[in-house]
Each structure stands twice: as structure tokens, then as C-alpha cells.
A = this chain, B = another copy of it.
Amino acid sequence: MIDALINYCNKHFPLSREERDFLKQHIPVRRVGKQKNLLSEGEVSTEFFFLIEGCIRLFYEVDSEEKTAFFYTEGEFVSSYESYTRQTPARHFLQTIEACTLAVISVELADQMLAEFPTFAHLARLAMEEELIIYQDILATFITLSPEQRYRNLLARKPELAQRVPQYLLASYLGVAPETLSRIRNRMRED
């Protein structure tokens, strides 16, 4: 089950047999249903995740309206880095869109991992780096692309999302009303 995480780590830095065993024995795997909040606005994050199976969205709530910033899929770290490391209240929600299988790394476990295997600092760095690059990427597409271009971009990167995620969530990600996305799709059909 935890193999997905081990493979991911191995791609970036070699894991010793002991480290692999440690991961297998100590990292809990959690299954959660759909529409569950892994983290809510105002909460302090005490764990981060490696998404083994499923789909998660990150969204902000503004005037009782939900604005989706990102979709996570299999093989990605899911975390609220700032809230986790600085122990400050999160400003966003992390919510499952589908039933998910997650590797859960709590603050305590992370401390223990670092104490026993300093190499795991690489893991922390990896998760942080991934989050930074995700954010830079989201921001770049937000700034440089029109809604229609962002839609094409999203589908080019994660084509399955169009099947897995309701359209109004995609619209929320594009920053437009569901009706507008419907019209964008209409325009695209005519090409």
C-alpha cells in the first residue's frame, strides 16, 4: 500500500532497506470517503499526506462561496505547508472529491522519522519543494492564461479530471461561473 510513496521517494533519492522498512511499518494508511475535509480553514494542520488513490481539492471560502485553487491526484503530496510547519491556522480547506487512500505523516511521526533517519529531511524538503512548485505553477497559469487557456492547460496535464470532477468545480478552479465554463466548452466544440 505504502509502495507508491516508497517508489516516489526512490525516484528522488535512494532509500535504504531500513528506511523502507520504517516507512512500511510506521506510516499509517487512511481511507476516507468523498466530500470529507482533511483540513478546514482556521484549523492548525497536524499532518500531511501522500495521496495514494483518489482526488482532493484545495479551496478557499469567500463570502460563503468556494474558490478552488488546485486539484491533487494520485502520487502527489498534499499539505498545508505553512500551517503544518508554523502551526498557524490554515486559510483554506483540503477536501476529498472522491474516496481516497492516504499515507498520513503526523508531526510526531515526522519528528521520529527525522530523529532515526536524518535522510528523511530529504523527504520533508521534497514535499515542500513540490508544494512550492505547484503554487508557482498555479499562479503562473492564473496570471498568464485566460480561463479558456487554463481549461485547456488543466486538461492537457490531467485529462482524467474532466471525468472525475464535476464541472462546477472546474469552473470554480478557472475562476468563472459554471455557466461561463459551459459557454467556453461550447465555443471549443466549434473549432
Distance in Å: Cβ of A130 to nearest Cβ of chain B: 10
Q: Are A128 and B132 in contact (CB under 8 A)?
A: yes
A62 touches B136 (CB 8 A): no
Set of chain B residues within 8 Å of A129, measured between Cβ atoms: 85, 128
Name A143's closest neighbour in chain B (CB-CB): B67
Task: Return A63 CB to nearest CB of chain B, in Å.
Answer: 9
A143 and B173 CA atoms in complex are apart in Å by 9
Interface presence of A162 (CB below 8 A)? no
Report copies per complex: 2
CB contact between A143 and one of B85, B136, B140, B175 (< 8 Å): that residue = B175
Q: Is the interface of A mostly helix, strand, loop or mixed?
A: helix
Given A69-B139, A132-B131, A135-B136, A144-B85 contact (CB < 8 Å) = no
| Contacting pair A91 B128 (CB below 8 A) | no
What is the size, in residues, of chain A's interface with B at 8 Å between Cβ atoms? 25
> Which single residue of chain B is at the shortest CB-CB distance from A175?
B143
Complex Cα distance A131/B85, Å? 14
- Given known contacts A131-B132, A132-B128, is B91 in contact with A140 (CB within 8 Å)? yes
CB under 8 Å from chain B, chain A span 121-156? 125, 128-129, 131-133, 135-136, 138-140, 142-145
Q: Which one of B92, B132, B140 lies within 8 Å of A140 (CB-CB)?
A: B92
What's the minimum C-beta distance from A22 to chain B, rounded to whole angstroms?
23
Evaluate contact between A142 and B142: CB separation under 8 angstroms: yes
**Chain B positions within 8 Å of A60 at CB level:** 140, 143-144
**Do A136 and B82 contact each other (CB < 8 Å), given the known contacts A60-B143, A60-B144?**
yes
Counting from the closest, the 4 A-B pairs by CB-CB distance are A135-B135, A132-B132, A62-B144, A67-B143
